[in-house]
Structure 1
């Protein structure tokens, strides 16, 4: 390559080969507990970090208060969710589930790094967010979820049957 062309490319930031790449400064690691208020849940497999948020039933999300969901008939909920099993479920016993994962394929190595569970109590809507600080925390997170999920009659999720639940079950 002509030297003047090489010089002009270098001035534009184009490099050839790894020897010419600049070393990046080390990133400062920030612990999740320094960013959001939460607590560590201790299990037999270690700890996972959980953020628990309470919303009063009158809290509006969009145009409707959260309590409006509880006013639905089970038949309407089943139609909306396209799940006939909900016709026989007390809507207070539904757990809403969502995951954020390291990939969309669901194959080996795909893990949930955030799992959100939402559910109603007598006086509120609870949102529990489980954060994976490190892959080594995954068994503790799965154990924490396994402790809470049996309390519910049904799961509601946008893509739970096809993606979220299999990701968690296969771990």
Structure 2
């Protein structure tokens, strides 16, 4: 019997299973290696379900995010608590979260392949960005999310109640995992923006909040969120994680912006005083009512009041110009848009081009303003590569159309 056991031992056979550790499949290891190569500052964490890649990003708090100083303290007052619905928010106990998914419908088997979870430490803002190496690692991926959630008291999201959290929980149920750590209070900032900023913004997307309120400038590596599923599939097909670099950057900025906007909201509510002439938010609320009264009045419109950024947001000024145009006050509309253009607003130049093309039938001036819009767009550092590319293509298409109309008009004159 001893001889047989000796032979089995020499062959590598061991008694029992405790010492056995299953080897990772070669393909799974290759995906992890690819992520490590693309994100050299990342590392692999392990839980009972397996390894997970964490592309951790650290940002010093003395580096502002747009106009927001991340060192700003979080000191909730009664108005802040009323707006957010939270009475005991603690800066160090808040976890900002945003996900990237393979699709928009959990019912269509979409899944989360990247999640950014951001939080404040003493001197840094840290984003733990988990990336799903392949679908076989999804259980470990979900478990690591739960482990991170457990360290914090509150969750900070943007449309997280309706999309992010349900998407995650759907995958937890799909795998029948015994995970109970996802029931965490969720402050969804989308509802706050809709309630208090909707009148001031063209839409309530997080990217719009970033640009119009936080003044965040995204880098060239930025890719639009709608491209994320295609780029993740490219990673799975090729095993090359370079396709995820722009997606990771997009996700990181989204997460940091959530925390930055919360600090901005806190600052606004702390400074709020309806009786103070310096309160910008109160003034904007009053200005919206004044705009409506002025535009509905039969009296001449004092257009110069709309030609300064000190009183109105650019979004409101563009809206005012459009309302003046609809009411037939073309000269006043042009004056407002020209004042916006002088401040570097490329959308104003595009709208001027439309007025001269559609209302004045002046194709030379329409071309002039369209070219000015293209120049400003090309120089705008706040727009990511893909967004700029899409807008450029749209404006260049208009440019070709305008040139054709001008040529046709010249032929008719001859």
Asked if these proteins are the same fold (TM beyond 0.5), I'd say yes
Residues 122 and 62 (structure 1), Cα distance of their counterparts in 2 relative to 1, 3 Å cut: same
1:54 to partner: Cα distance: 1.3
2:107 and 2:154 mapped to 1: Cα distance? 25
Q: Deviations over 1:38-70 (max 9, x none)?
A: 1111111111110111112112111122122x3
Aligned to 1:144: 144
* Counterpart-to-counterpart distance in 1, 2:80 and 2:91: 8
Pair 1:120-2:120 in alignment? yes
Contact 2:98–2:115 (CA under 8 A) maintained in structure 1: yes
Secondary structure of the corresponding residue to residue 150 of structure 2:
helix
Which structure has greater strand proportion? 1
Q: Say whether residues 1:40 and 2:44 are aligned partners.
A: yes
Moved over 2 A (4+): 70-79
Q: Which is higher, the Rg of structure 1 or of structure 2?
A: 2
Q: Looking at secondary structure, tell me which structure has more helix per residue.
A: 2
Q: RMSD of aligned C-alpha atoms?
A: 2.0
Task: State the match for 1:60 in structure 2.
Answer: 64
**CA-CA distance at 1:165 after TM superposition:** 0.9
Contact 2:61 2:125 in 1 (8 A): yes
> 1:2-56 CA deviation, whole Å, 9 max, x = no partner?
xxxxxxxxxxxxxxxxxxxxxxxxxxx8812111121111111111110111112
Structure 1 residues 136 and 71: CA distance shift in structure 2, 3 A: same
State whether residues 76 and 89 of structure 2, in contact with CA within 8 Å, keep that contact through their aligned partners in structure 1: no
Partner of residue 100, structure 1: 100
TM-score by length of 1: 0.73
Q: Whole-Å Cα distance in 2 between the matches of residues 32 and 119 of structure 1?
A: 23
How far apart are the structure 1 equivalents of 2:79 and 2:110? Answer: 34
CA shift, 1:72, in A, is 4.6
Instruction: Confirm or deny that 1:73 pairs with 2:76.
Output: yes
1:16 alignment partner in structure 2:
none
Contact 1:104–1:110 under 8 Å retained in 2: yes
Higher relative CO (Cα under 8 Å, sequence separation at least 6) belongs to 1
Runs of 5+ consecutive residues of structure 1 not aligned to the other structure: 1-28
Judge conservation of contact 1:74–1:88 (CA < 8 Å) in 2.
no
Q: CA deviation at 1:166?
A: 1.2
TM-score, structure 2 normalization: 0.32
CA distance in structure 2 between the aligned counterparts of 1:149 and 1:78, rounded to whole angstroms: 22
Aligned to 1:153: 153
Aligned equivalents of 2:70, 2:80: Cα separation in 1: 14
Unaligned runs of 5+ in 2: 1-30, 172-414
Tell me, in whole angstroms, the C-alpha distance in 1 between the residues paired with 2:56 and 2:77. 27
- SS in structure 2 opposite 1:95? strand
Give the C-alpha shift of residue 170 in structure 1.
1.9
Q: Distance in 2 between matches of 1:157 and 1:74?
A: 21
Residue 61 of structure 2 is aligned to residue 49 of structure 1: no
CA offset digits 1:95-134 (Å, max 9, x no partner): 0000000111222411110000000112221111000110
